[in-house]
């Protein structure tokens, strides 16, 4: 399965829409969002992609109550995991968080094939033991080129996609 991994959208609805268009073209089977959606209208955009979205809260997700309420009642494709999440895709175990310290901690357990995190807005791929640590960069575009990553769960190949 191809999964899309993104983080730090910070209400940049225009870049999120660009990313979702690419994700739909690629026919990704899942989106993992590593936090900092910021406003609930970003969840609405993600929900409209019509594929499962798994996310965690970031440090700028101020109204976690409202984000959670909408994910449980209105948006059928969104599952928010709290501060740390994990999904198992046919034996490909993915852990995800927002903060780098949590990402590094999850990777150190060697329980995951890949661990994804955000927060720094900087793209990174690093091996920690048998785990791939991935920061997809930012959707927002504040600190550099906005973008996200595709991960192939069959081959573990990672592809960075920059948004223009």
pLDDT of residue 164: 79
| Integer angstrom CA distances of residue 116 from 20, 29, 48, 49, 86 | 19, 17, 23, 21, 10
pLDDT of residue 79: 97
pLDDT of residue 144: 80
Q: Give the whole-angstrom CA distance, residue 150 versus residue 148.
A: 7
Burial label, 107 (beta-carbon count in 10 A; 0-12, 13-18, 19+): buried
Q: What is the CATH number of the domain that holds 21?
A: 3.60.21.10
β-pairing verdict for 2-6 and 147-152? antiparallel
| H or E element that contains 58 | none
pLDDT of residue 141: 93
Identify the sign of the CA torsion 38, 42, 46, 52: positive
pLDDT of residue 125: 98
In the structure encoding, which two tokens stand for residue 113, read together?
Answer: 């094939």
Full pLDDT tens readout for the chain, 164 residues = 999 999 999 999 999 999 999 999 999 999 999 999 999 999 999 999 999 999 999 999 989 999 999 999 999 999 999 999 999 999 999 999 999 999 999 999 999 999 999 999 999 999 999 999 999 999 999 988 999 999 999 999 999 999 97
| Integer angstrom CA distances of residue 100 from 27, 104, 122, 133 | 29, 6, 11, 10
Counting the structural domains of the chain, the total is 1
β-pairing verdict for 84-89 and 92-97? antiparallel
Burial 45-58 (b: 16+ CB within 10 A, else e): bbbebebbbbbbbb
Please, are residues 146 and 16 in contact by the beta-carbon 8 Å criterion? no
Predicted TM-score of the model (pTM): 0.97
> What is the domain extent for residue 52?
2-162
């Amino acid at each position: 399965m191809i999964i899309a991994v993104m983080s730090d959208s910070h209400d940049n609805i225009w870049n999120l829409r660009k990313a979702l268009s690419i994700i739909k073209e690629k026919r990704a089977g899942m989106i993992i969002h590593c936090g900092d959606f910021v406003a609930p209208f970003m969840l609405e955009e993600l929900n409209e992609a019509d594929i499962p979205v798994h996310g965690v809260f970031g440090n700028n997700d101020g109204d976690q109550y409202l984000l959670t309420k909408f994910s449980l009642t209105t948006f059928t494709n969104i599952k928010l995991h709290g501060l740390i999440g994990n999904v198992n895709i046919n034996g490909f175990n993915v852990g995800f968080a927002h903060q780098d310290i949590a990402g590094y901690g999850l990777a150190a357990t060697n329980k995951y094939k890949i661990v994804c995190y955000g927060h720094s807005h900087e793209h990174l791929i690093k091996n920690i033991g048998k785990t791939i640590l991935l920061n997809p960069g930012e959707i927002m575009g504040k600190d550099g080129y906005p973008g996200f990553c595709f991960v192939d769960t069959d081959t573990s190949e990672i592809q960075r996609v920059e948004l223009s």
